[in-house]
Copies of this chain bind each other. A is one copy, B any other.
Amino acid sequence: MTDPVLKNDRLIRALLRQPVDRTPIWIMRQAGRYLPEYRETRARAGSFMDLCRHPDLACEVTLQPLRRFDLDAAILFSDILTIPAAMGLGLDFVENEGPRFAKPIRTRSDVARLGVPDPERDLGYVLEAVRTIKRELGNRVPLIGFAGSPWTIATYMIEGGSSDDHRLARTMLYQEPATLHALLEVLARAVAEYLNGQIAAGVDVVQIFDTWGGILTPAAYREFSLRYMQAIMERLKRRSGTKIVPVILFTKGGGAWAETIAASGCDAMGLDWTVDLGDVRRRTEGKVALQGNLDPAVLHGSEAAIRSEAAAILAAYGRGPGHVFNLGHGISQHADPDRLKVLVDAVHDLSAPYHQG
């Protein structure tokens, strides 16, 4: 049932819990600042958003890590804030400070003015990047598309950028929950249409990044984050001809809610490094594939530490299909690319015995 055209379909097979020869690996933020060739292309592009907006350049940085490492997937180079940018909030990336919105969302009337972007018209540069990358990839490995979760995107829209404590977003949650629900509803529709656009343009997998779901109480997580990710998953066109497009849901800090997330309709759950992968596998009883969950800081360690920590993750998951190796969060800009090569090769070498017999 996986795309017969893909030369390396380990990732798709693992996400669908089908047998593989080795555990597939990709790395969150694998196209990024830790690579000198990325920094070179970024300097040529101008701003970070210029890089996202030029399909040829987005394609170039998407492919860069695949030239260095034996990765089992490419991931579209883009940003989770393309949607609010298309909604007209005035997105700018300030060097060393991160994203800034000229027009943050604070009131019910701010929310009422928001429309759902049309993917082809308003986010065509992303879909064009998908088509360019698919052409250049030549079906060597699958391409992962992505979006932010409604709650995660909403935090940036409300705060006006990054925040340590998400005070304004959490204040809206307890002070004006109806306004927050209205915002999340429009974002859920926007994300669903955007991901369907990416699927139509050719992505083979989609991941929803719920970077800030883990700052909520269990009840608020279900009401304000998971519920809207479920609404998205219900709207996704997860079959494209004979091809199945698996969905990965990654809530950073969501390990304690693994049972709930596993029942949400996703094919796979991404996990950060604060949980034991074997423990989560037992608690979710093979309902979903699991992705993760090496501490990104391990890449700052010795080669021996990298190998032994990778081995510990593989052993924690144990035998059989359904595991996709990844870090528990994006790779640090300070990581050494040579250390990442040690990790990728170690995962392929050390995982074979878990898939035999």
Binding site for B on A (CB under 8 A): 165-167, 170-171, 173-175, 214-220, 253, 255-256, 273-276, 279, 295, 297-298, 300-302, 305, 309, 312, 332, 334
Q: A171 contacts B275, CB within 8 Å? A: no
Which residue of B is nearest A301, CB measured? B174
Q: B300 contacts A275, CB within 8 Å? A: no
Chain B residues contacting A297 (CB-CB under 8 Å) are 166-167, 170-171, 173-174
Within the complex, which residue of B218, B219, B309 is in contact with A174, where a contact is CB–CB below 8 Å? B309
Q: B302 contacts A174, CB within 8 Å? A: yes
Within the complex, which residue of B216, B256, B295 is in contact with A220, where a contact is CB–CB below 8 Å? B295
CB of A4 to closest CB in B, whole Å: 39
- How far, in whole Å, are A215 and B332 apart by their CA atoms in the complex? 15
From known contacts A297-B167, A300-B167, infer whether A274 and B217 are also in contact, taking CB-CB under 8 Å: yes
- How far, in whole Å, are A277 and B298 apart by their CA atoms in the complex? 32
Q: A175 contacts B305, CB within 8 Å? A: yes
| Residue picked from A173, A217, A301, most chain B C-beta under 10 Å | A217
Q: A300 contacts B175, CB within 8 Å? A: yes
- How far, in whole Å, are A312 and B218 apart by their CA atoms in the complex? 12
Which residue of B is nearest A213, CB measured? B274
> Can you name 13 extra interface pairs (CB under 8 A) apart from A173-B297, A216-B295?
A165-B332, A167-B297, A170-B300, A171-B300, A174-B295, A174-B300, A174-B302, A174-B309, A175-B300, A175-B301, A175-B305, A214-B274, A255-B256
9 tightest Cβ-Cβ pairs between the two chains A and B: A174-B301, A170-B297, A171-B300, A174-B305, A256-B256, A218-B276, A217-B273, A175-B301, A217-B295
